[in-house]
Amino acid sequence: MATKKFKCNVCGYIHEGDAAPATCPVCAAPASEFTELKEAEEAPKKKGLLSDTNSNAYIVLYSTVMVVIVAVLLSVAALALKPRQDANDLNEKKRNILASLSAENESYDTFVDAYVVDKAGQRIDGDVFALLNDLPTAFAEGKFPIFEAKDGRVVIPVTGMGLWGPVWGYVALEKDMNTVAGIIMAHKGETPGLGAEIATPKYQSKFVGKTIFEGDEFVSVTLRKGGAKDPAHEVDAISGGTKTSDGVTAMLYNSLRNYLPLLESKRAAATAPEAAVPAEVSNEENAESHE
């Protein structure tokens, strides 16, 4: 036998020669990482790999068994952990609702009354948190979950599309059903550092104090590119996050609009005896905020 074989312990490279190379040409590991391979050691291994285990029948059988085992394993794990994950999810929602009201220290169960309203603002039956899981569908079906705090403020869940995926959040309104008390927004995959800024407390604090009605007309809150011009209904859009900002604008407008009958009856009650005329939303306004 003229040459010996040396195997690199790091990457598995096999060098043929009288001595191990100074450094491994593949991964640059030093000579000390090489071990000499004995012929006898190599022969049975090769045989083991290439004998029957490479026949088509074996491969098909092997992959089938493997897939079934892995599938069973993963489904068992998913089912076993689901209750815990759902509980986490629910807690997260409750925390977000309290956070939008700046009432983190309150207990959700005693502080917030959750119910569902229909298009006309009348209470209907429905499981609030089940609806929250798929808000776009709930909106399409005319079921609008809402959270009313003990102190008269309300929290409205909102949903829309950002640049890369869904954005959603909770808008808290003061007792006048007009002033934004707080907002919590989250997103699935907006660009970090740009669109993802909507999820930061710093950005969300800009919404506090904005009003969603101009007189009796519903105008929502707009994220204005180039800086807010109207201090009452606009906030600065995120530079570099124009699409996300537009998505948030549309999300606020389209989601809050669903609650108009309820908000207006509550407003009327708050500002009574002046009877508020339900505001018409012009198509122009609508088109603009979808731009």
Q: Is 189 in the site for another protein (CB under 8 A)?
A: yes
| Dist. CA 170–CA 147, nearest whole Å | 10
| Dist. CA 65–CA 260, nearest whole Å | 57
Q: Is 265 in the site for another protein (CB under 8 A)?
A: no
Among 1, 2, 40, 49, binds another protein (CB under 8 A): 49
The interface region with another protein, picked from 78-86, 145-153, 213-221, 269-277 by CB under 8 A, is 78-86
The interface region with another protein, picked from 75-83, 225-233, 247-255, 264-272 by CB under 8 A, is 75-83
The two three-digit tokens of residue 198, written as one number: 């909507």
Q: Which residues pair with 217 in a beta bridge?
A: 214
196 in helix, strand or coil? helix
Minimum gap (Å) between residue 259 Cβ and another protein: 28
Minimum gap (Å) between residue 23 Cβ and another protein: 8
Minimum gap (Å) between residue 77 Cβ and another protein: 6
User: Is the distance from CB of 136 to CB of 232 less than 8 angstroms?
Assistant: no
Nearest to another protein of 190, 234 (CB atom): 190
Among 17, 36, 43, 59, binds another protein (CB under 8 A): 59
| Dist. CA 207–CA 184, nearest whole Å | 10
Which own/partner pairs from 230-234 qualify as long-range (CB within 8 Å, at least 24 positions apart)?
234/210
Question: Under rule CB under 8 A, which residues in 14-43 are in contact with another protein?
Answer: 23, 27-30, 32-33
Strand 14-17 relative to strand 4-8: parallel, antiparallel, unpaired? antiparallel
Q: Is 268 in the site for another protein (CB under 8 A)?
A: no
Among 25, 68, 85, 120, binds another protein (CB under 8 A): 85
Give, in order, the Cα–Cα distances in Å from 228 to each of 46, 62, 82, 122, 200: 71, 63, 44, 35, 19
Minimum gap (Å) between residue 89 Cβ and another protein: 8
Q: Is 130 in the site for another protein (CB under 8 A)?
A: no
Q: Is 78 in the site for another protein (CB under 8 A)?
A: yes
Q: How many CB atoms lie within 10 A of CB 68?
A: 10
Minimum gap (Å) between residue 6 Cβ and another protein: 14
Nearest to another protein of 45, 150 (CB atom): 45
Which own/partner pairs from 147-153 qualify as long-range (CB within 8 Å, at least 24 positions apart)?
147/97, 147/112, 147/113, 147/114, 148/112, 148/113, 148/114, 148/115, 149/101, 149/103, 149/111, 149/112, 149/113, 150/110, 150/111, 150/112, 150/113, 151/175, 153/101, 153/181
Q: Is 10 in the site for another protein (CB under 8 A)?
A: yes
- Pattern of binders to another protein over 190-229, x per CB under 8 A? ---x------------------------------------
- Interface residue list for another protein (CB under 8 A): 10-12, 23, 27-30, 32-33, 45, 48-50, 53-54, 58-59, 62-63, 66-67, 70, 73-74, 77-78, 81, 84-85, 88-89, 91-92, 189, 193
